[in-house]
A and B are shown apart, each in its own frame.
Chain A
Amino acid sequence: QKEVEQNSGPLSVPEGAIASLNCTYSDRGSQSFFWYRQYSGKSPELIMFIYSNGDKEDGRFTAQLNKASQYVSLLIRDSQPSDSATYLCAVNIRKLTGGGNKLTFGTGTQLKVEL
């Protein structure tokens, strides 16, 4: 079982629709969860993080966390063509002795927003 799983897609949504991206993780001890956006040929850009059960909203983005079911999702409202990218889910599997944190990444979901 992969530690962090995402559907690779592509997920195609029309402009203006809600895009829903999902991620499941295997380690019940995971504490914090991150969504990164990565455009082709670019580096990952942090767009949301969440560490409490429930929803967290930031503009058009909403992160949802359900620790009991071990999933985290990202909703993008009013999707725009500029949202077309690969979205990476990352889970803080453990805090490292001596400092720093170990993030485990999924393979990413490719989102295409069509005109």
Chain B
Amino acid sequence: ETGVTQTPRHLVMGMTNKKSLKCEQHLGHNAMYWYKQSAKKPLELMFVYSLEERVENNSVPSRFSPECPNSSHLFLHLHTLQPEDSALYLCASSQDRVGANEQYFGPGTRLTVT
């Protein structure tokens, strides 16, 4: 399998549920990212991990909890979400080096909170 994969592709959950999103990158990159994309809004960076250490938390509510067990895997644990959290959640990865550090995205998880 190549590139960046995400599971599940679609998720419907109630506000009291707990679920997790999974991301795996097969590119040998050393940095991974979670983004949120809502309708009519720019992509919003949520979290950044570099070499499995969190280096950025972009003022994300605590109901979103990331986990990076190794450089290839990234999780986003969800609990007690709100309907406004419904969005496309995108994972990306990059290789940290001098010069351009292009990010490659996975297919995303379409989340609906009911």
Interface size class of B (residues with CB under 8 A): 20 to 34
Q: How far is the CA of A106 from the CA of B43 in the complex (A)?
A: 8
Q: How far is the CA of A104 from the CA of B56 in the complex (A)?
A: 14
Contact between chains at A101 and B105 (CB < 8 Å)? no
- The interface on chain A, measured as residues whose beta carbon lies within 8 A of the other chain's beta carbons, has a size of 29
Residues of B close to A101: CB separation below 8 A: 31, 94, 96, 101, 103
Of the candidates A36, A50, A99, which one forms a contact with B50 in the assembled complex, judged by CB atoms under 8 Å apart?
A99
- Known contacts: A49-B100, A51-B100. The answer to whether A99 contacts B40 by CB under 8 A is no
In B73-113, the 8 Å CB interface with A consists of 88, 90, 94, 96, 99-108
Convert B30-72 into 0s and 1s, putting 1 for each residue whose CB lies closer than 8 angstroms to a CB of A: 1101000000111101001111010110000000000000000
Q: A-B contact count, CB below 8 Å?
A: 81
- CB distance A100 to B105 under 8 Å? no
Nearest neighbor of A2 in chain B, beta-carbon distance: B42
Known: A88-B43, A105-B43, A107-B42. Contact between A43 and B105, CB under 8 A?
A: yes
Q: Which residues of A contact B108 (CB under 8 A)?
A: 42-43
Q: Is the CB of B94 within 8 A of A100?
A: yes
Q: Which one of A95, A98, A102, A105 has the greatest number of beta carbons of chain B within 10 Å?
A: A98
Residues A102 and B56 in contact, CB atoms below 8 Å apart:
yes
Q: A96 CA to B51 CA in the complex, in Å?
A: 13
Which B residues are closer than 8 A to A by beta carbons?
Answer: 30-31, 33, 40-43, 45, 48-51, 53, 55-56, 88, 90, 94, 96, 99-108
Further 17 A-B residue pairs, CB within 8 A, beyond A51-B100, A90-B43, A108-B42: A4-B42, A32-B102, A43-B107, A46-B104, A46-B105, A49-B102, A50-B100, A96-B55, A99-B50, A99-B55, A99-B96, A100-B50, A100-B96, A102-B48, A103-B43, A103-B45, A107-B41
